[in-house]
Structure 1
Amino acid sequence: MKKTLVTAMSALLATGALAGCGSDGEGSGSSAAATATPAGASAAPTAAAKKEEAKPFTISLRHVQVRDDAKQRLKMLEDVVKKTEAGVPGLKIELEGLEDKVHRFEKLPAEMAAGTPPKIFDLFGGTDTQKFVKAGRLLDLTPIITELGIKDKFFNLDEFTVDGKIYGLPMAGFVEGVFYNKKIFKDLGADVPKTWDDLLAVSDKAKAKGITPFALASADAWVINMMTNTMWVRTAGPDSVPGFVSGSKKWTDPDVLDAFKRYETLVKKGYFQEGNLGLKYAEQQNKFRNGEAAMLFDGSWSNSALVDPEKSKIANDVGFFNFPAMGGKGDGLINGSYSNGYGFSSNLNDREKTAVKEFIKQMYNEEMQKRQLKESGFLPAMKLTDLSGVNPIVGEILQAANNKQFPAFDSILQAKAREALENGMQELLGGKTTAEKLMEKLQKAQDDANKDNAK
Structure 2
Amino acid sequence: MKKTVSTLVASAMLVSGLTACGSSDTGGAADKGGAAAGKDEAKPFTVSLRHVQVRDDAKLRLKLLEDVAKRMEENVPGLKVELEGVEDKVNRFEKLPAEMAAGTPPTIFDLFGGTDTQKFVKAGRLLDLTPILAELGLKDKFLNLDEFTVDGKIYGLPTAGFVEGVFYNKKIFKDLGAEVPKTWEEFVAVAEKSKAKNITPLAFASSDAWVINMLMNTLWVRTAGAESVNGFVAGTKKWTDGDVLDGFKKFETLVKSGYFQEGNLGLKYAEQQNKFRAGEAAMLFDGSWANSAVVDPEKSKIANDVGFFNFPATGGKGDGLINGSFSNGYGFSATLNDNEMKAVKEFIKIMYSEEMQKRQLKESGFLPALKISDLSGVNPIVGEILKVANAKQFPAFDSVIQAKVREALEVSMQEMIGGKATAEQVVEKVQKAQDAANKESK
Aligned AA for 1:3? K
Deviations 1:286-320 (A, max 9, x none): 00000111000000000001000000000011100
* Residue aligned with 2:82, SS: strand
Alignment partner, residue 395 of structure 2: 407
Alignment partner, residue 301 of structure 1: 289
Aligned AA for 2:176? L
Aligned AA for 2:23? C
Q: Provide the C-alpha distance between the structure 2 equivalents of 1:410 and 1:85, rounded to a whole number of angstroms.
A: 36
Deviations 1:62-103 (A, max 9, x none): 100111111111111000000111111100010011111111
Q: Does 1:7 align with 2:7?
A: yes
* Counterpart contact for 1:18–1:366, Cα < 8 Å: no
Deviations 1:324-353 (A, max 9, x none): 000001000000100110000112111101
Deviation of 1:369 after TM superposition, in Å, equals 0.5
Q: Provide the C-alpha distance between the structure 2 equivalents of 1:322 and 1:213, rounded to a whole number of angstroms.
A: 16
Alignment partner, residue 251 of structure 1: 239
TM-score of the superposed pair, with normalisation by structure 1: 0.93
Q: 1:417 aligns with which of 405, 424, 439?
A: 405
Deviation of 1:446 after TM superposition, in Å, equals 0.2
Paired residues, number = 432
Alignment partner, residue 42 of structure 2: 54
Go from structure 1 to structure 2 and tell me whether the alpha carbon gap of 1:408 and 1:51 turns closer, same or farther (over 3 Å shift): closer
Deviations 1:211-263 (A, max 9, x none): 11001111110000000101100000010000000000000000000000110
Alignment partner, residue 31 of structure 1: none
Q: 2:210 aligns with which of 222, 230, 234?
A: 222
* Counterpart contact for 1:18–1:384, Cα < 8 Å: no
Q: Where do 1:274-313 residues align within 5 Å?
A: 274-313=262-301
Q: Provide the C-alpha distance between the structure 1 equivalents of 2:19 and 2:159, rounded to a whole number of angstroms.
A: 16
Alignment partner, residue 88 of structure 1: 76
Q: Provide the C-alpha distance between the structure 2 equivalents of 1:136 and 1:432, rounded to a whole number of angstroms.
A: 43
Q: Provide the C-alpha distance between the structure 1 equivalents of 2:213 and 2:179, rounded to a whole number of angstroms.
A: 25
Q: Does 1:444 align with 2:442?
A: no
Deviations 1:90-145 (A, max 9, x none): 00010011111111111111111111111100001100000000001101111111
Q: Provide the C-alpha distance between the structure 2 equivalents of 1:259 and 1:340, rounded to a whole number of angstroms.
A: 26
Deviations 1:135-193 (A, max 9, x none): 01101111111100000000000000001110000000000000000000000000000
Q: Provide the C-alpha distance between the structure 1 equivalents of 2:437 and 2:74, rounded to a whole number of angstroms.
A: 46
Alignment partner, residue 164 of structure 2: 176
Q: Does 1:325 align with 2:299?
A: no
Q: Provide the C-alpha distance between the structure 1 equivalents of 2:166 and 2:61, rounded to a whole number of angstroms.
A: 23
Alignment partner, residue 32 of structure 1: none
Go from structure 1 to structure 2 and tell me whether the alpha carbon gap of 1:445 and 1:185 turns closer, same or farther (over 3 Å shift): same
Q: 1:126 aligns with which of 114, 117, 129?
A: 114
Alignment partner, residue 18 of structure 1: 19
Q: Provide the C-alpha distance between the structure 1 equivalents of 2:41 and 2:235, rounded to a whole number of angstroms.
A: 54
Structure 1 segments, 4+ long, off by >6 Å, are 50-53
- Over alpha carbons, which structure has the higher Rg? 1
* Residue aligned with 1:108, SS: helix
Q: Provide the C-alpha distance between the structure 1 equivalents of 2:338 and 2:229, rounded to a whole number of angstroms.
A: 41
* Residue aligned with 1:230, SS: helix
Alignment partner, residue 395 of structure 1: 383
Alignment partner, residue 152 of structure 1: 140
* Residue aligned with 2:71, SS: helix
* Residue aligned with 1:191, SS: coil
Q: 2:249 aligns with which of 256, 261, 266?
A: 261
* Residue aligned with 1:382, SS: coil
Deviations 1:15-44 (A, max 9, x none): 1222433899xx99xxxxxxxxxxxxxxxx
Aligned AA for 1:12? A
Deviation of 1:360 after TM superposition, in Å, equals 0.5
Deviation of 1:52 after TM superposition, in Å, equals 10
* Counterpart contact for 2:23–2:354, Cα < 8 Å: no
Aligned AA for 1:70? A
Aligned AA for 1:444? K
* Counterpart contact for 1:22–1:148, Cα < 8 Å: no
TM-score of the superposed pair, with normalisation by structure 2: 0.96
Deviations 1:344-372 (A, max 9, x none): 01121111011100110111010110111
Aligned AA for 1:305? A
* Counterpart contact for 1:18–1:385, Cα < 8 Å: no
* Residue aligned with 2:331, SS: strand
Q: Provide the C-alpha distance between the structure 2 equivalents of 1:161 and 1:52, rounded to a whole number of angstroms.
A: 40
Alignment partner, residue 240 of structure 1: 228
* Counterpart contact for 1:21–1:149, Cα < 8 Å: no
* Counterpart contact for 2:24–2:354, Cα < 8 Å: no
Q: Provide the C-alpha distance between the structure 2 equivalents of 1:6 and 1:113, rounded to a whole number of angstroms.
A: 38
Alignment partner, residue 376 of structure 1: 364
Q: Provide the C-alpha distance between the structure 1 equivalents of 2:426 and 2:353, rounded to a whole number of angstroms.
A: 45
- Give unmatched runs, 5+ long, in structure 2: 31-37
Q: Provide the C-alpha distance between the structure 2 equivalents of 1:93 and 1:4, rounded to a whole number of angstroms.
A: 34
* Counterpart contact for 1:174–1:300, Cα < 8 Å: yes
Q: Provide the C-alpha distance between the structure 2 equivalents of 1:373 and 1:8, rounded to a whole number of angstroms.
A: 15
* Residue aligned with 2:19, SS: coil
Deviation of 1:414 after TM superposition, in Å, equals 0.5
Q: Does 1:209 align with 2:209?
A: no
